Every structure is written in C-alpha cells, then in structure tokens.
Amino acid sequence: MEPALPPDMSHGFAALPQYETERLLGQALARHGVEPERGVEPISFTQDEDGVTAELVGPAGAETVRARYLVGGDAAHSIVPKTLGFRFEGGAFTEEHMLGDVEVEWSIPPGYGIRATREEGGRVQDLLVCIPLPGRGR
C-alpha cells in the first residue's frame, strides 16, 4: 500500500542534490562560453541601472568584475543577501548533526522520506531524517 499525502500537502517531496545542481549550472554556463571559478567569493558589490560591480577575492587575489547580473548562490549569512537587505529570520541549530550521502535499498515508494525521533523525558534525544534523491538507491 502506498502512503497517502496529508490533505494540506499538494505535492510530494522533490529533491535535487547539490552536485546535480552544480552540474546543470556548469552546463548552462558552458553553453555561453563561461567556466565557473571555484574558491572565489564576493566581498562587496554595488548595483546601478546597467549592471553590477563586484569586488571578488580568490586564490589569485582580489579583482573587480563588472557584469550585467550577480547571482548569489552563497549562504544566508553571506555578503549578497546582507547587502540586498534580506534578513535571515531563523537561528542556528545548537545540536550536532551528521550528514551522509548513502546508497540504500528500501521498500518505501519513490519520493517519500522518513523522519523518526527518539524522545526521553519529553525531549527529542535522537532524530533521523532520510531524504530520497534521484537515482537508484539514493
């Protein structure tokens, strides 16, 4: 029997692993003759009607780049969202976490995940979350 989605959930789980996202973005850039530079980060930028001027730092040192667009694929607390005035309303987890990208065989239907907890004294002691990724056994 296939588990049913809760009535307030209009769709199943969708996931795209980071390595696949990076591969797809790399392919899109390659079609435009651009190769991504790894290990380079923006330290500041300004925007005007014609584009963006960004100060970057990387293995080769600092450089200034002028572009039509700046795409921020960095973390919530980084320079791009801060400069644009986006606020991160959440907080950091105090718990320690371990992340594993593993292959597993299970009988759960494709697209469904698992969330399991172990509680003691009304407090969660252990938490397991399994999120299926595209591909066999992922």
For 47-77, what is each residue's pLDDT tens digit?
Answer: 999 999 999 999 999 999 999 988 776 677 7
For residue 24, count CB atoms less than 10 angstroms from its CB and return exposed for 0-12, middle for 13-18, buried for 19 or more.
exposed
Considering 7-16, 53-62, 80-89, 121-130, the range whose residues carry the highest mean pLDDT is: 53-62
User: Quick one: which of 90, 106, 96 has its CA closest to 127?
Assistant: 96
Half-sphere exposure of 92 (CA within 13 A, CB side): 6
pTM of the model: 0.55
Give the rounded distance of the alpha carbon of 91 from its chain centre: 17
pLDDT digit string, tens, across residues 13-54: 566 777 888 899 899 999 999 888 888 889 999 999 999 999
